[in-house]
Amino acid sequence: MERTFVALKPDGVQRGLCGEVMKRFEQKGFRLVAAKFLQPSEDHMKKHYMDLKDMPFYAGLCKYMSSGPVFAMVWEGQGIVKMGRMMLGETNPADSKPGSIRGDFCISIGRNIIHGSDTAENAKMEIALWFKDEEFVTYTPCTQAQLYE
Tell me the binding residues for ATP: 9, 57, 85, 91, 102, 112
Compute the distance between CA of residue 83 and CA of residue 77 in angstroms, rounded to an integer. 9
User: What is the maximal distance between C-alpha atoms in the chain?
Assistant: 47
Contact (Cβ atoms closer than 8 angstroms) between residue 35 and residue 74: yes
Residue 96's alpha-carbon distances to 86, 90, 112, in angstroms, are 9, 5, 10
Catalytic residue among 4, 13, 115, 131: 115
Question: Residue 48 catalytic?
Answer: no
H helix runs in the chain, sequence order: 10-14, 18-28, 42-48, 58-65, 80-88, 101-105, 120-130, 144-147
Which residues are 34's β-sheet partners?
Answer: 74
To the nearest 10°, report the CA torsion of 94, 97, 99, 100.
Answer: -70
Catalytic residues: 115
